[in-house]
């Protein structure tokens, strides 16, 4: 077996040669996830600094070991990193890679992630869940395992389910109905977050979202965990539904797990579609994001430019309401050509509305203005 040498951050690793990135590779390594790992370095460092103590980290799906080894080498205040993987070959390469990088505080484990998390309940300040496809099979174990003031990082790559390309898998895996709309990636994040919040509530634990993003083929959420039945009940108040009208693009959030949901669009009378239950609370935390942005200067990250663009967009979005409008979709409905997004945003701002762009789509606008107001502004800007 020939090996491939890889350099990422402050770390060098070897993995068996592979033709294309896939779950079938002998040991999994995806160069497209470097941005994800770079962002994780900043998020874990920010979390460690806020906690003010050294942290124990569990990389429950280690693969080549790249993530855990980077956490060990590039984050200060880490007492131990446990890198776990079910695959004997992944564990063999993780050992070699740990030696290659001379990491001292790394423990390597080979078991099913559910077992590792349950057996080591209460041991970790940070758990990273980065499986193939859906993380849903592991959420009960991590909910059982995590203690108060801990950080949970979750990656999901089954975006077709979360975004509603395939409805049934989303219902099966996340117990929620997806909405295939122009803002489906944000909905996907909210469905995953809602599923995590509901699962943690069973264990009398609450979640708060520090940072989330949808990039390329995956979604990633960072949750802060607290213990307490009352806090869990409180956090479930963030659950609800979104109704969407395909004809006129009207959408509305409705809080609650058994709310009254109108089946007709209040604007045009068309039958509405319903998505949820999902998380309607904040999905970005501006202080946490500002902290991550500040820390980026101190770290050697190859993806710094891309990462700063993403973090700054997420920061802009952090105070905005749920969902966004796509300028091109609204213009298609109005049957007019699209004005500049910056002009539309400026007009909305001049009229006193909250407005921002969004990292989900270059043509997306987040605002508290009504759709009627947005359409009026677009029409006024139209030269035809
Ligand atoms: C997406 S890869 C992890 C990538 C790695 N975190 C990184 O950043 O490069 C998923 C890994 O999970 C492992 N795996 C699959 N099922 C598992 C399970 N039930 N418990 C633990 N590891 C598992 C696979 O062997 C694979 O190495």
pLDDT tens track, the chain, 384 positions: 789 999 999 999 999 987 788 888 888 899 999 999 999 999 999 999 999 999 999 999 999 999 999 999 999 999 999 999 999 999 999 999 999 999 999 999 999 999 999 999 999 999 999 999 999 999 999 999 999 999 999 999 999 999 999 999 999 999 999 999 999 999 999 999 999 999 999 999 999 999 999 999 999 999 999 999 999 999 999 999 999 999 999 999 999 999 999 999 999 999 999 999 999 999 999 999 999 999 999 999 999 999 999 999 999 999 999 999 999 999 999 999 999 999 999 999 999 999 999 999 999 999 999 999 999 999 999 866
Q: Is the pTM of this model over 0.95?
A: yes
Residue-range domains of the chain with CATH:
3-317 (3.40.50.150), 325-381 (3.30.56.70)
Q: Which residues line ligand 1 (CB under 6 A)?
A: 28-29, 33, 37, 61-64, 66-67, 84-87, 90, 112-113, 130-132
> Who contacts 370 (Cβ-Cβ below 8 Å, separation ≥6)?
none
Neighbours of 107 (CB within 10 A): 13
Residue 311 CA to residue 303 CA, distance in Å, equals 12
What's the token pair of residue 148?
């108060």
Which atom of ligand 1 has the smallest separation from the CA of 130?
A: 6
- Distance (angstroms) between ligand 1 centre and the Cα of 320 equals 35
pLDDT at site 183: 98
pLDDT at site 368: 98
Which atom of ligand 1 has the smallest separation from the CA of 29?
A: 9
- Distance (angstroms) between ligand 1 centre and the Cα of 342 equals 42
Neighbours of 352 (CB within 10 A): 8
232 near 206, Cβ under 8 Å? yes
131 near 140, Cβ under 8 Å? no
- Distance (angstroms) between ligand 1 centre and the Cα of 85 equals 6
- Return the residue whose CA atom lies nearest to atom 18 of ligand 1: 112
Neighbours of 99 (CB within 10 A): 10
Residue 103 CA to residue 108 CA, distance in Å, equals 12
Nearest to 204 by CA among 236, 226, 229: 229
Residue 277 CA to residue 80 CA, distance in Å, equals 37
Which residue's entry shows tokens 């789509």?
A: 361
Residue 132 CA to residue 224 CA, distance in Å, equals 23
Nearest to 195 by CA among 228, 154, 164: 154
Q: Cis bond leading into 116, ω under 30°?
A: no
Radius of gyration for the chain, computed over Cα atoms and rounded to the nearest angstrom:
22
> Who contacts 31 (Cβ-Cβ below 8 Å, separation ≥6)?
6, 8, 21
């Amino acid at each position: 077996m020939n090996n491939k040498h890889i350099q990422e951050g402050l770390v060098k690793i070897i993995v068996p040669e592979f033709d294309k990135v896939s779950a079938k590779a002998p040991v999994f390594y995806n160069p497209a996830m470097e941005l994800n790992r770079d962002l994780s370095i900043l998020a874990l460092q920010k979390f460690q600094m806020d906690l003010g103590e050294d942290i124990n980290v569990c990389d429950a799906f280690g693969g080549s070991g790249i993530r855990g080894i980077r956490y060990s080498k590039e984050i200060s205040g880490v007492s131990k990193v446990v890198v776990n993987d079910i695959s004997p070959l992944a564990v063999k390469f993780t050992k070699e890679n740990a030696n290659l990088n001379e990491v001292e505080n790394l423990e390597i484990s080979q078991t099913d992630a559910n077992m590792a998390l349950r057996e080591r309940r209460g041991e970790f300040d940070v758990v990273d869940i980065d499986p193939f496809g859906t993380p849903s099979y592991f959420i009960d174990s991590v909910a059982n395992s995590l203690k108060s003031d801990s950080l949970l990082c979750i990656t999901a790559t089954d975006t077709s389910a979360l975004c509603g390309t395939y409805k049934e898998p989303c219902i099966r895996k996340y117990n929620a109905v997806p909405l295939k709309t122009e803002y489906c990636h944000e909905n996907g994040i909210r469905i995953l977050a809602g599923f995590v919040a509901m699962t943690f509530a069973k264990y009398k634990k609450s979640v708060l979202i520090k940072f989330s993003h949808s990039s390329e083929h995956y979604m990633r959420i960072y949750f802060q965990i607290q213990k307490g039945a009352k806090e869990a009940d409180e956090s479930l108040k963030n659950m609800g539904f979104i109704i969407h009208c395909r004809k006129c693009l009207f959408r509305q959030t409705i809080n609650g797990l058994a709310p009254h949901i109108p089946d007709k669009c209040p604007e045009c009378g068309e039958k509405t579609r319903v998505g949820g239950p999902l998380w309607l609370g904040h999905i970005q935390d501006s202080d946490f994001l500002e902290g991550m942005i500040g820390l980026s200067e101190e770290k050697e990250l190859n993806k710094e430019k891309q990462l700063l663009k993403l973090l700054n967009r997420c920061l802009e979005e952090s105070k905005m309401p749920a969902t966004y409008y796509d300028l091109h979709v609204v213009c298609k409905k109005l049957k007019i050509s699209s004005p500049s997004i910056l002009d539309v945003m400026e007009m909305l701002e001049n009229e006193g509305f909250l407005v921002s762009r969004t990292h989900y789509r270059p043509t997306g606008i987040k605002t508290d203005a009504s759709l009627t107001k947005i359409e009026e502004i677009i029409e006024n800007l139209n030269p035809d």
